[in-house]
Amino acid sequence: MVEIDVEGTVYAYLCQNHRGKESMIKNKDLRKLFGIKSDKSMRKIIQNIREDKNYKEIIGSKSGVKGGFYMCVTNEEKEETINNIKHRANQMLRMTHVLEWKSNLEG
């Protein structure tokens, strides 16, 4: 059985068809194109692409009803994407501190 490189296929598609924030594609539409069942699975594919140094371009995203995925073409789009990811990472780090503090209250 041949394994299909879905990350490479999605990356190539975004590079060719969705360059810049103004041409973003909704998660559900991208999933439909590639037969990906869940929102979570699509986000994992995007994460894998972002983390792989072989994929040189940056995938931007916007959450919410008007959100979607796109290839960053301007420095502003790249900076916005990096800042959004940093913000989410900081939120998670704060949450771990709260949970660690709560766990020390027991006993």
Q: Does domain 6-105 have CATH number 2.60.40?
A: no
Amino acid at position 94, single letter = R
Q: What is the DSSP letter of 57?
A: S
Give the whole-angstrom CA distance, residue 82 versus residue 38: 25
Q: Which pTM was predicted?
A: 0.84
What is the rounded average pLDDT for all residues in the chain?
A: 92
pLDDT category of residue 2 using cuts at 50, 70 and 90: very low
pLDDT tens string 75-87: 999 999 999 999 9
pLDDT tens string 22-34: 999 999 999 999 9
Total residues found in the chain within this entry = 107
13: nearest Cα among 49, 66, 62? 49
Residue ranges covered by each domain of the chain: 6-105
Given a cut of 70, whether residue 49 has pLDDT beyond it is: yes
